[in-house]
Amino acid sequence: GAGVSQSPSNKVTEKGKDVELRCDPISGHTALYWYRQSLGQGLEFLIYFQGNSAPDKSGLPSDRFSAERTGGSVSTLTIQRTQQEDSAVYLCASRGSPHTTGELFFGEGSRLTVL
C-alpha cells in the first residue's frame, strides 16, 4: 500500500504476556517514529529511528519496551511482561524528508488491551 501500515490493528493479551507490534513505513522514508496514545489524550513519544539507528530512546517507559528497525524499513515494537497500564493505541509514523519540518505520515495504530 501507499501509506503506513501497522499490525495487528487490535491486540488483546493477558497481563504478563509479551507482544510485538509491527510498522511498515512508506517506501523510501528514512525516519520512523513510535508514539503511544491513551484514550482521548495526546501522543507520548517513545522512540525515533533515522535509518536503522535510534538516536533517541529516551521515551521508552521502561526496560520492558524495546524497538528495532531492520533494513531501514520495517520496525517492531516489543513489550515484554505486559501490564494493564500498557493498554493504549500505539501509533507509528514515517517521514521522507531529512528535515524535521517534513510531514509525518501516520498509520491507523495498533490498539493494545491488557487484561
Residue 32: strand pairing partners: 49, 94
Using CB under 8 A, pick the residue from 20, 56, 61, 62 that binds other proteins.
Answer: 56
* Binding of residue 50 to other proteins (CB under 8 A): yes
Which range binds other proteins by CB under 8 A, 14-22, 40-48, 60-68, 73-81? 40-48
CB distance 67 to 54 below 8 Å: yes
What is the per-residue DSSP string for 82-99? --GGG-EEEEEEEE-SSS
Residues that bind other proteins (CB under 8 A): 4, 31, 33, 35, 40-45, 48, 50, 55-56, 58-59, 91, 93, 100-101, 103-109
